[in-house]
Amino acid sequence: MAIVKPFKAVRAKRDKAALVSSKSYEVYTPEMLNSKLAFNPYTFLHVINPGYKYHKQDITGELRFKLVHNRYLEFKEDEIFFQDELPGFYIYQKITATNSFCGIISATSVEDYHNDVIKKHEGTLKERELLFENYLKNTGFNAEPVLLTYPDNDDISSIIKKYTKERAEYEFSSTDKTSHLLWVVNDKTDVAKIEQGFKEVDTLYIADGHHRSTSSCLLADRLAKENPNHTGKEAYNFFMSYLLPESQLSIYEFNRFIKDLNGLTPHEFLIELDTIFRIENRKQELYKPKEKHHFSMYLNGEFYALYLRKSLYNFTDSLSKLDAQILYTTVLKPILGIEDIRNDSKIVYSQDKSDSLELKTKVDSGEFKVSFGMLPTTISELKEIVDAGLLMPPKTTYIEPKLRSALTIYEF
């Protein structure tokens, strides 16, 4: 039984929503960021880049977090932001050239995270967990929801369909030609129906936002210990999430790029691979896998198809069947000497969504010696691994939708 709660979002007024909301801070190059800050006084980027006001953008640590809080207060004082009077859910739809995503923004339970009702599929770095916990503690808000997915539910879908037939509270397009729509659900009957619908959901799966969810839980535990009157109902016992039916989730693969062959020549490397893979040289033909346990490789100016010799590989559990794990256990670790695939500087990852020639171009540039591609992980694989209590290797899934910041803001 999943616990979801309505909340009183802080958000922009209707006429400024398009100007205020932004992509996640990390996706902007310095040039893009400066352009946004210079020409849009309403962008939320001013809040999370507070040093711009003082022409000093290298402010870090707790001082930066406190200034973020100050800029946030200014947006509220200038009435760019307001807080809804009634608690509600927020239906958000994102429409791109190829996909449409429609789910519910809500407050989700820290207790559910601790009780494994909310499950993760990737490990997190302690340093990043603590950094974001400190950010939340100092700023007092979260502006970007965690992406959770759940099995499709007819009762929840019926509420979403009801509202999406009406005029949206927000309706705007961003410069990447994506449409964004937001509906406010604060009718008590519909709020109760949504809460009840999720009580029928056994498990919520974290699709994106592992560090944000973990940090929110760390903060909740910390604040609970500091509060002698803790009841479990305080705002810090929940974190903001975007709940999306799993049928709408889009999963793409990450390519792997390796900077050296661990002392081997290309010929010697191919001989090592021949032990566990059947290898076909595709020359200049672009090869992309069409089946699980098949891999593409670009080496020394040529494409190769690698087919796992299943008779020589031991499938022990759901994780061992995952292509990203197979590549690690058969190639990256034993042959190329990459033990720590999260932190080793010899390996670089890039999501394979648009540039199908990336495997070739990055190696031909001389920056890398070899590259590997594979099929995307399926939602069924993800759930099977998670339900078994296992974690996937880093950079196994590139999941969409990517969510905007400051469409709704959750205060602690």
Which tens digit of pLDDT belongs to each residue from 345-372?
Answer: 999 999 877 666 899 999 999 999 999 9
* Rounded Cα distance, 224 and 221, in Å: 5
Tell me the whole-structure pTM to 2 decimals: 0.94
Predicted confidence at residue 107, as pLDDT, reads: 98
Predicted confidence at residue 354, as pLDDT, reads: 60
Q: With 70 as the cut, is the pLDDT of residue 263 above it?
A: yes
Which tens digit of pLDDT belongs to each residue from 20-41?
Answer: 999 988 889 989 999 999 999 9
pLDDT bucket at 125, cuts 50 / 70 / 90? confident
* Rounded Cα distance, 90 and 105, in Å: 5
Predicted confidence at residue 174, as pLDDT, reads: 95
Work out the average pLDDT over 110-119.
Answer: 98
Q: With 70 as the cut, is the pLDDT of residue 275 above it?
A: yes
Work out the average pLDDT over 81-95.
Answer: 98
Predicted confidence at residue 355, as pLDDT, reads: 64
Residue 287, φ and ψ in degrees, nearest 5: -110, 130
- Kindly provide the b/e burial profile for residues 87-120, where b requires at least 16 CB atoms within 10 angstroms of the residue's own CB: ebbbbbbbbeeeeebbbbbbbbbbebbeeebbbb
Note whether 332 and 256 are within 8 A (CB): yes
Work out the average pLDDT over 134-159.
Answer: 97
Q: Domain extents for the chain? A: 4-251+400-411, 254-390
Which tens digit of pLDDT belongs to each residue from 151-190?
Answer: 999 999 999 999 999 999 999 999 999 999 999 999 999 9
- What are the residues whose beta carbons fall under 8 Å from the beta carbon of 167, sequence distance 6 or more? none
Predicted confidence at residue 282, as pLDDT, reads: 97
The answer to whether the bond into 393 is cis (omega within 30° of 0) is no
Q: Distance from first CA to last CA of the chain, Å, rounded?
A: 24
Beta strand 100-109 with 4-5: parallel, antiparallel or unpaired? antiparallel
pLDDT bucket at 57, cuts 50 / 70 / 90? confident
Q: With 90 as the cut, is the pLDDT of residue 213 above it?
A: yes
User: Lowest-confidence range among 31-45, 107-121, 236-250, 347-361?
Assistant: 347-361
317 φ/ψ sector (left φ>0, alpha ψ -120 to 50, else beta): beta
Q: How many CB atoms within 10 Å of residue 409?
A: 24
Identify the CA nearest to 239 among candidates 219, 253, 256: 219
Distances (CA, A) of 380 to 190, 204, 350, 385, 389: 31, 14, 23, 9, 14
Residue 200, φ and ψ in degrees, nearest 5: -85, -5
Predicted confidence at residue 55, as pLDDT, reads: 79
Domain 254-390: which CATH number of 1.10.530, 3.30.1760, 3.30.70, 3.40.50:
3.30.1760
* Rounded Cα distance, 315 and 301, in Å: 33
Work out the average pLDDT over 54-77.
Answer: 90
Q: With 90 as the cut, is the pLDDT of residue 60 above it?
A: no
